[in-house]
Amino acid sequence: MTNPYLVRRRADYDTLRQGIEAIQIRAATEGRDLTEAELTSVRSQGEQAQALAAEITDLTEIHNRHAAVASMAADLAEPTETRAVSGTTTRDRDPGHYRSETDGGRHSFFADLYRSRAQGDEDAGRRLTEHTRALSTGTNGPGVVPPRWLTDEFELLARQGRSLANAVRNIPLGDDPRPITLPKQTVGTDTVVAEQAAENNPVVGTDVWDSDVDTVTPRPTAGKQIVSRQMIDMASPAIDQLIYGDLLSVYNDQIERKVGAALITAAGAAITTFATEAAFNGTLPAVPAYDAVVDTSLAVWNARKRPADLLAMTVNRWGKFKKLKDSTGRPLIPASTAGPMNVVGVGSVAMAGQLDELGVIATDGIGSGTAYPESVLALRASDTLLFESNVTRFRFEEVVGPESVVLGIWAYSAVIVRQSGKSVKRFVVTAAS
C-alpha cells in the first residue's frame, strides 16, 4: 500500500531537484557561471532538499518494514478452497483481494483503483488485474463486477496544485502551530560611518541602530466531507482514501492562492499600469510588455539591493507573452533555446519559461487569467517564507447520526514576505479594452 504522505514528500523533493537543475542548465546553456542570486537559490533549495531527503529516507524505511510484515501476514492468510472429487483438487478462481472484512479482506477495490491510477501503486494495479481476470463480466450480473477499464480511466478533477508555493522557501512547523517571532533590523548606522576629516578628529557616534520583530500567526486550513455509511461499508476498508486525496488536492490549491495573495499585497502599488490589453501589446518596434518586466525586476533590485529571480503570472498572461511577435511575425519567446535570435525570452521545460533572466511560473494562484485587474509579479523567492504544519486527517462516526461518517483534514499555515515588500514588485493590466 502506497503512503500518500510519502508520495507527496517525494514529489516535493522532485520539485526541488528540478528547480536546482533548471538553474544550472540555464547557466550552462548560456555559457556563463551562476549569478549570486542563482547560487543563493541553489544553496537554499539544496538545504531544503537535504532535510527532505533525510525525512523521506526515514519514512521509506518505516513504510518498507510495515509492508514486509503485512506481506508475511497475507501469505499466512492466503485463502484456498479445495474439495476432493474423483481424486482431483480444485482452487477457487477468486484471488480473494476484495473480500469483506469479516471474511478476512484487507483491500478496497476503489482504494486500489485510486492508488494505481493516481499514485502509481504497482501492487494495487496487480490486485485489480488479477481480480478482473478471475471474474467474468458476461451477461450474468451486469454491473456487479467492476469492469477493467475503470482501472485506466479513473478521472481526477483538474486542479492547479503547488507551483508558486513550492518555489518559495518552505519551513515545516511539525505539530507546533504557535506564533513565530522573526527579528529584523529597522534602522542602520548609515549616519555614523564616515571618513575622518583630519588626524585626531573624534569619530562620530550615536545610538541609531534599532530592531523590531515580525510575528507570524499560523491559521488553520481545514475541510470535511460527510459521507454516507453505505459508501464506507460497501467499499470497506479504504474508500476514504479517495475522499482524503481530493481534500488534500483542494488544500494544495488553497496554499497556492495564499502565497499568491501574500505576494500581491506585499508588492503594493504597481510599477507600471496598462489600461488595456492593447497597451500591453504595444506597437512595434516598442514592446511595452517586456519593458514592464525589466522595470519591475529592476525595482526589486533597487529596493532589495539583490536581483529578483522569479516572475509569477497567470497561465493566460504567459500565453499572451508567448504570442508577442516581431515585425516579421517571428515569436519573441521561442519554444527552444537552439539558436535564439531577436528574442526577449526563452522557453524552458523545467519552468514555464524565462524572461529577462527570470524563471517564469504560470499559476492560477495569482488569478484566473480572465478577471481584471491582473498582476504580474517579479520577486526574490528566498525572501518569501511559507510555514506549514503537518496535515492531520480525521474521521468521526455518528457525529450527525448513524447514517453518516465525517472525513476531514486540518493543517496550519502562514505566509510572510520579508524585507517589508522590497523583494516583490508588480505591474498590472487593468482591463481587457
Question: What confidence score (pLDDT) does residue 406 get?
Answer: 85
State the pLDDT at residue 369. Answer: 84
CATH class assigned to 161-191+207-433: alpha beta
pLDDT at 134: 58
pLDDT of residue 38: 80
Residue 309 has pLDDT above 50, yes or no: yes
Please tell me whether the overall predicted TM-score, pTM, comes out greater than 0.85 for this model: no
Crossing angle of helices 122-134 and 109-118, rounded to 10°:
130
Mean pLDDT, rounded, for 268-272: 95
Q: How confident is residue 222, by pLDDT bands cut at 50, 70 and 90?
A: very high
3-state secondary structure string across the chain: CCCHHHHHHHHHHHHHHHHHHHHHHHHHHCCCCCCHHHHHHHHHHHHHHHHHHHHHHHHHHHHHHHHHHHHHHHHHCCCCCCCCECCECCCCCCCCCCCCHHHCCCCCHHHHHHHHHHCCCHHHHHHHHHHHHHCCCCCCCCCCCCCCHHHHHCCCCCCCCCCHHHHCEEEEEECCCCCEEEEEEEECCCCCCCCCCCCCCCCCCCCCCEEEEEEECCEEEEEEEEEEHHHHHHCCCCCHHHHHHHHHHHHHHHHHHHHHHHHHHHHCCCCEEECCHHHHHCCCCCCHHHHHHHHHHHHHHHHHCCCCCEEEECHHHHHHHHCCECCCCCECCCCCCCCCCCCCEEECCCCCEEECCEEEEECHHHCCCCCCCEEEEEECHHHEEEEEECCEEEEEECCCCCCEEEEEEEEEEEEEECHHHCCEEEEEECCCC
Between CA 386 and CA 221 the distance in angstroms is 14
Confidence at residue 313, expressed as pLDDT on a 0 to 100 scale: 95
**Structure confidence at residue 271 as a pLDDT band (50, 70, 90):** very high
Amino acid at 93: R
Mean pLDDT confidence for 86-96: 50
Tell whether the model's pLDDT for residue 160 goes beyond 70: yes
Q: How confident is the model at residue 4 (pLDDT cuts 50, 70, 90)?
A: confident
Q: Which residue has the higher pLDDT, 116 or 51?
A: 51
Mean pLDDT of the 221-249 span: 77
CA separation for the pair 266, 341 (Å, rounded): 36
Percent of the chain with pLDDT over 70: 79
- Is the pLDDT reported for residue 69 higher than 70? no
- Return the pLDDT at 42: 86
Residue 147: pLDDT band (50, 70, 90) is very low
**pLDDT tens-place string over residues 329-380:** 888 888 755 455 555 555 443 478 888 889 999 999 999 888 999 999 999 9
Residues of the chain with CATH 3.30.2320.10: 161-191+207-433
Lowest mean pLDDT among 164-178, 298-312, 393-407, 415-429: 393-407
Mean pLDDT for the stretch of residues 240-266: 90
Mean pLDDT of the chain: 81
Range with the largest mean pLDDT of 78-82, 146-150, 386-390, 402-406:
386-390
Q: Which among 184, 175, 176 has a CA at the least distance from the CA of 417? A: 184
Can you give the pLDDT at residue 233? 67
pLDDT band for position 51 (50/70/90)? Answer: confident
Give the pLDDT score at 212. 93
Q: Tell me what pLDDT residue 105 has.
A: 67
Range in 18-22, 166-170, 207-211, 385-389 with the lowest mean pLDDT: 18-22
3: confidence class by pLDDT, cuts 50, 70, 90: confident
pLDDT greater at residue 242 or residue 265: 265
Q: Which residues pair with 345 in a beta bridge?
A: 355
